[in-house]
Structure 1
C-alpha cells in the first residue's frame, strides 16, 4: 500500500536515489496514482529563482534550479496556452517525471497503467507523475498559462536526442537492434549512437518543434540576472 504524497519521498534529498525515486513513481503510477495533490501552503515557488532566466525548449519555457550529484534535477517549466503552442503527446525515454502545478491553470494528459490516456484540468496543488517512456502532454489555459515544478529522474541534457521523443516515433527507437544492449545510463555514448543512426537515415525520431510564444518572457527574465559588473556591492567586516 502506498502511503503519503510523492513529495514526502522528495524531502529527504540526502538519501534520495534514482532507483528509490523511480520505484516510488512506478508504484504509484502502476496502481492508478498518476494524479496526486499537494497542500497549497507547501508548494515550491518560482519567485525564489527569478535570477535564473527562462529558456525555450520544445513547446514550453524552462529553468533549471538544482541537480543532485546522482542526476536528479529540480526545475520549473512554463506552458503557454494551447492556441500559442499545442503540445502533442510525447515521451521522455530515459527519465521519469514528477510535475507539480504551482501557478496558473491548464490541462494534463497522461497515459495510465491500464493503457488509456487520462486527462484532467489542473491548478496549483495538482501533482502528475509517470515513469520514463510514458506518453503525456500539458497545455496552459488561455487566461492564465501554467507554471509547474518538474523533477527529472534523472536529468537528460535538453539537447540530447533522447530528451524528448514524439510518441508516434518511439516504436522506431525500441525496435532498433543497435540499441538493445546499450547502457542507458551512459548518456554520451547513447546520444552519439542515436545521433549517428539518425544521420545515416537508419532511425527517424521526428523533428523537435520550437514555439514562437515566450520571447517576451525570456527577454524579461534575462534582465533579472545580477552580475558583479552591473551591481553595487557593499560589505561590512
Structure 2
C-alpha cells in the first residue's frame, strides 16, 4: 500500500460506496491529502480519515476550477512533501478520467503512482438501471463515447461506425450535445425508434431513469429537466427487462 511521497489514482465508481474495491478503500483510509473530483459522492468523501486534507479540483463543462496542468502539479508538489496523496476520481481513472495524463506527469517527475480501477459509469449505472450492455441475440458489442463538444461547437465522431442495430452505444457527458447525437445517429442509419435511456446520478439514492427512443431523447431531457451528470444509452438492450420486473432485481431493490 502507500509509502510516503507517492500518489494513488483511485477510481471511486459512480457514487455508491458499496461499489468501491477493497484496494480503493484501503488507499482512502490511509490518505494524508485527497485531491478529488466533482463526481465523488459525499458518502465516499465521508470515508476519508479525519486528518486528511481535502482539495477540490472538480470540473464542469467549460468551467474548470483548476486546469489540468494545475492538478498535475498539485499531485507532484504534495508527493514531494512526503505525503500519501490520494487522487480520487469518479468512475475509473482510465475511462474519460485523464488518469493516463496524470500518471504520465507523475512518472516524468519521478513520483511513484498506483492506479486503482473503479467501476465506470457505463457499466455500473446501466446495471443499476437494469440495462445489460450486451445481451445474447440483442447486442454483441458496446461502445463508450464522450459527447463533449469541441471548441467550435461541433461533435466530430465516426457516426457510420455506430449504426449497427446490435451495438449498444453509451455517451458520457452528452446532455448538451444530445441534439447533435440524435440527428447524426439517425442520419447514419440508426432507426429513430431505437430504444434509448437517460440515467442521471446513477447508483445514487435519487437516481433517475428515463426511457424513450432515439427520436424522443431531446424532448425527454426538457420534460424531466435532466442535467449532468447523466448517461445516454442507445440500443435494444434498454428494453431487456419490463419495468414491472426491475423491482425484483436485487441490486436495484437494495438501493
**TM-score relative to the length of structure 1:** 0.24
**Greater relative contact order structure (CA < 8 Å, 6+ sep):** 1
More strand by percentage: 1
**TM-score relative to the length of structure 2:** 0.23
